[in-house]
Amino acid sequence: MTIATMQGVVKRYGSHVALDYINLNIHEGEIIGLLGPNGAGKTTLIQTLTGITPFERGKIEIFGDSKNPFSNQNKEKMGLVTQEITVLEELTAKENLQFFAGVYGLKGEEKKKRVEEALGFVGLGDKGGKMTTNFSGGMKRRLNIACALTHRPKFLIMDEPTVGIDPQSRNYILEAVKKLRENGTTILYTTHYMEEVQAIATKVVIMDQGQIIKEGTVEELIKTVQHEEKVRIDVTDIERIPVEALEKISGVKKISVSGNQLTIISAFGSGNLDRILTLVKEHAGVLEIQADKPNLEDVFLTLTGKQLRDKEEE
């Protein structure tokens, strides 16, 4: 089943084209990892998809409805975790959740139950009564996510939900997203951390300068840049390594020696590591093996010639 589609959507801010003919299909059960650098248009895409901001041309369909995609009935089944934290600091964690649950029309016992459920879900079960002013960045982020969950949305949209938080909170959030999917929620997740996309996305959509430049599973995208395999082996007696014999192993393209390290480049999918290691071990001790695998950062670099992340941010 299709949860949402965008067809030829264009959005301009003055003369700046923030969304440049976006086509996107989101199917039930997917976690779409929308990956792109600062200013790519991720938030703008989300704002048009949720009806927050108008767009110049194109078509959006939500839950099969393209006539009135942003009807209240549809919005009730959607949850939005905004990039800017919208937690109200003068309230406790629980009061925040009660407020948002109320906005979604929950009442009485049901509301109480759902508030507890959402708090527990983000690991703040014992912090409900605490004022949020003193919460750490990670706790505020987690509460921000919980605020979008009390009405159990079918389609959850998360805009960079892990920016500026500690690794523990990040892992908690990533695990929570996977759990939500197991419980039947479809998720659109934006980030500029490719590790997160690699960890949770069932499909990756890469955006740059208002355009979707590539989409597919992590494996599919990586395959597009994977032409060779590189293995580095640190050995005890480098002078005893039979380089010529190694070169004859099927798939091996190039061998270089530097210090006590051998670098072996093979054709992609050679499956020759076992034979290489057996031969090396016959002549020297193996101290360390490193295999360089391309990642989504390499995909982005190959597609755009740019780094996904600014160096200062790392």
Ligand X SMILES: Nc1ncnc2c1ncn2[C@@H]1O[C@H](COP(=O)(O)OP(=O)(O)OP(=O)(O)O)[C@@H](O)[C@H]1O
The span from the CA of 47 to the CA of 49, in Å, is: 6
Smallest gap from residue 138 Cβ to ligand X (A): 19
Q: How far is the CB of 80 from Mg ion (least distance, A)?
A: 13
Q: Please say whether the dihedral angle defined by the alpha carbons of residues 165, 168, 169 and 173, taken in this order, is positive or negative.
A: positive
- The correct pick among 192, 208, 212, 262 for binding ligand X (CB under 6 A) is 192
**Where does residue 31 rank: exposed (0-12), middle (13-18), buried (19+ CB within 10 A)?**
buried
Please, what is the minimum distance in Å from the beta carbon of residue 198 to Mg ion?
20
| 43 part of the interface to Mg ion, by CB under 5 A | yes
What does 241 bind: Mg ion, ligand X, none (CB cut-off 5 to 8 Å by kind)?
A: none
Q: Which two tokens stand for residue 255?
A: 């061998």
Residue 179 has a CB neighbour count (10 Å cut-off) of 11
Rounded to the nearest 10 degrees, how much is the dihedral formed by the CA atoms of 195, 200, 205, 208?
-30
Ramachandran assignment for 21, one of left (phi > 0), alpha (psi -120 to 50 degrees), beta (any other): left
Q: Per CB under 6 A, which of residues 104..163 are in contact with ligand X?
A: none
Q: Is residue 13 near ligand X by the rule CB under 6 A?
A: yes
Closest CA to 6 of 55, 40, 52, 39: 55
- Of 84 and 126, the one with the shorter C-beta distance to Mg ion is 84
Nearer CB in complex with Mg ion: 42/127: 42
According to CB under 5 A, which residues from 73 to 132 bind Mg ion? 83
Taking the least distance from each CB to ligand X, the nearer of 40 and 222 is 40
- Shortest reach from residue 103's CB to Mg ion, in Å: 23
> What gap in Å lies between CA 207 and CA 245, rounded to an integer?
45
269 binds, among ligand X, Mg ion, none (CB under 5 to 8 A by kind): none
Question: Which span sits near ligand X by CB under 6 A: 37-45, 55-63, 67-75, 283-291?
Answer: 37-45
Chain residues binding ligand X by CB under 6 A are 13, 16, 18, 36, 38-44, 83, 192
